[in-house]
Amino acid sequence: MSSATPAVEGSAADLPDGTPTGAVRATDQAAAEAVGSRRPLDLGQGGPVAASAAQATVGLGLPSVGRPLVPAFDEHHPPDAALVGDCVHCGFCLPTCPTYVLWGEEMDSPRGRIDIMGSGLQGAPLEPSAVRHLDQCLGCMACVTACPSGVQYDKLIEATRAQVERRTQRPVRERLLRGLIYQLFPYPRRLQVLRGPLRAYQASGLGRALGRSGLLDRLPAALQAMESLAPRLGHVDRLAERTPARGTRRRTVGLLTGCVQGTFFPDVNAATVRVLAAEGCEVVVPTRQGCCGALSAHAGLEDQALAFAKSVIEVFEAADVETVVVNAAGCGSNLKEYAHQLRDEPAWQARAEVLAGKVRDITELLDELGPVAPRSLLPMTVAYQDACHLAHAQGVRDQPRRLLRGIPGVELRELTEADICCGSAGTYNLLHPEPARELGERKASAVLATGAQLMVTANPGCWMQVATTLARMGERLPVAHTVQVLDAAISGTPVEQLLSGALDGPGTPMPRHERPPTQAVPTAPTSRPGTDPASP
């Protein structure tokens, strides 16, 4: 596979001879059709189609490690041979795997990656190209949902990533970038320090000027991605340590504020507290909480992830709450995995199991409790985007939809390719900006195709990825978290105010290139809070 292979436009028929064109075995095609998907290159893409995975992953240079790993794995938690053996090579997972959808490469599919792990367990060295195929996995867990044999790919990739991280020496440029990411994003206080300079940069209009001058385009792709993803920063109101329930108290809950959520999307946390209180929850926000370790765990940084996990367990034990509420999908799925991560330390594992039993995504809890706060009319169409770590990793799909449909006036619209990741995937869009960009454009196009007035999601990463992609495409569409829509319905916020805040308020992308919008800002009839006859 040569990095000199030219990019091509269009369908598989347009590709040069020898270009990988997706599933070639009849059984694979049958599997794809059985789950309602099409062959990868038949899905259609708005922009140029990368002809190979190697070409598409240009962000950091290839290969990512210089020497084969011999043996492939050491004795500290290699991928479990029994779990590898569960894969029967049926191919049902292929059409839901974003990298397979992009490139049609067997080794960039779940089945191919499991084969790499199996070969390593049998003594084969882990070649740099194999590490690249493993690196290119988004960890979206769509394959876990799709697999009829119950293959626990999540456990396999987590173990393999820790091995690779521990035992490989990456190129200097990549080490520096990874060091920057993992010494910054999991530390809320460091992110808070960054807010001041970032706000000044945004207020000065420097980004727009640099974008127009073309200077930003000369930065390394990963830094360009970081610059463009940084959302518009608003004012941060400090959350009360304890907020009483409105009316009869139904539950005492603790809120995990999150690193990225707390720094870049404080409005989502504030809305979460208001909605929980309105629904009869006393809300505790522990002040000393840090990162949950999701980014570290997904990147294979085992020691860092375990240290964060223990700290979160201690903080919420001290808070003495019945439920721990999470409003960022990646964090919620990670908290539910603590017991597995801490399996070598039985005392901690037991404490992790207790905590995991209390963890709920905000939509899970609200759905479980049932509504008591009246909802006012919000007449608008909403496209709900499933965050992978909510839908695939936690199996939470129906609850957010039920909550949104429970708001008078809301019409829910479904996305095509809903199971395919948007390309955010934690830090994937920083480490692999090219495929992330392609996936972002597919998702943004699917959102636009719904014609909805608002996109709703449950994860800050998806929000930044899709909103930034829409802006880059010259489109303007409001984006909000599920709980912000509920907050608007409960507080009687007019729909225009909700939509304009979701279009230009905190959390929205900063304009970098002055491309005119191709779609007008959606409007909707005015609602009058509390006057909807359908309100409970």
Residues at the site binding ligand SF4, with contacts judged by CB under 6 A: 87-93, 96-99, 110-111, 113, 137-143, 146-147, 149, 151, 153
Q: Is the CB of 89 or the CB of 173 nearer to ligand SF4? A: 89
CB of 419 to ligand SF4, least distance (A): 9
CB of 29 to ligand SF4, least distance (A): 14
All residues at 6 or more sequence positions from 314 whose CB lies less than 8 Å from its CB, including other chains: none
Q: Is the CB of 433 or the CB of 494 nearer to ligand SF4? A: 433
Q: Which helix (H) or strand (E) holds 479?
A: strand 479-481
Angle of the 110-121 helix axis to the 128-135 helix axis, nearest 10: 140
Q: Is the CB of 68 or the CB of 118 nearer to ligand SF4? A: 118
Angle of the 460-472 helix axis to the 221-229 helix axis, nearest 10: 100
Q: Is the CB of 143 or the CB of 383 nearer to ligand SF4? A: 143
CB of 489 to ligand SF4, least distance (A): 34
CB of 119 to ligand SF4, least distance (A): 15
Q: What is the DSSP letter of 74?
A: -
Q: How many CB atoms lie within 10 A of CB 515?
A: 12
Q: Is the CB of 89 or the CB of 515 nearer to ligand SF4? A: 89
3-state secondary structure of 379: coil
Q: Is the CB of 87 or the CB of 226 nearer to ligand SF4? A: 87
3-state secondary structure of 232: coil
Q: Is the CB of 111 or the CB of 481 nearer to ligand SF4? A: 111
Alpha-carbon gap, residue 418 to 466, rounded angstroms: 13
CB of 89 to ligand SF4, least distance (A): 5
Q: Is the CB of 142 or the CB of 466 nearer to ligand SF4? A: 142
CB of 330 to ligand SF4, least distance (A): 13
Q: Is the CB of 378 or the CB of 425 nearer to ligand SF4? A: 425
Contacts 24+ apart (CB under 8 A), 354-359: 355/312, 355/313, 355/316, 355/317, 355/324, 358/316, 358/321, 358/322, 358/323, 358/324, 359/323, 359/324, 359/326, 359/332, 359/335
CB of 12 to ligand SF4, least distance (A): 20
Q: Is the CB of 96 or the CB of 289 nearer to ligand SF4? A: 96
CB of 82 to ligand SF4, least distance (A): 14
Q: Is the CB of 29 or the CB of 263 nearer to ligand SF4? A: 29
Q: Which two tokens stand for residue 28?
A: 């694979």
Place of tokens 């930034």: 468
Q: Is the CB of 90 or the CB of 521 nearer to ligand SF4? A: 90
The three state secondary structure string of 258-277 is CHHHHHHCHHHHHHHHHHHH
Q: Is the CB of 140 or the CB of 355 nearer to ligand SF4? A: 140
3-state secondary structure of 426: coil
3-state secondary structure of 53: helix
Of the candidates 96, 215, 200, which has an alpha carbon nearest to the alpha carbon of residue 153? Answer: 96
Q: Is the CB of 254 or the CB of 330 nearer to ligand SF4? A: 330
Place of tokens 């992790």: 352
Q: Determine the Cα angle at 93 with ends 89 and 96, to 5°.
A: 160
CB of 346 to ligand SF4, least distance (A): 29
Cβ pair 252, 282 in contact under 8 A: yes
Place of tokens 């490469």: 105
Alpha-carbon gap, residue 414 to 450, rounded angstroms: 7
CB of 185 to ligand SF4, least distance (A): 20
Q: What is the DSSP letter of 419?
A: T
CB of 415 to ligand SF4, least distance (A): 17
CB of 298 to ligand SF4, least distance (A): 10
Alpha-carbon gap, residue 65 to 260, rounded angstroms: 29
CB of 75 to ligand SF4, least distance (A): 25
CB of 388 to ligand SF4, least distance (A): 7
Which value, to the nearest 10 degrees, does the dihedral of the CA atoms of residues 475, 481, 486, 489 take? -30
Q: Across the strands, what pairs with 454?
A: 382
Alpha-carbon gap, residue 493 to 146, rounded angstroms: 39
Please provide the DSSP assignment of 514-535 as one string: -PPPSSPPP--PPP-TT--TT-
Enumerate the H helices of 336-432 as residue ranges. 338-341, 346-358, 362-369, 388-391, 398-405, 428-431
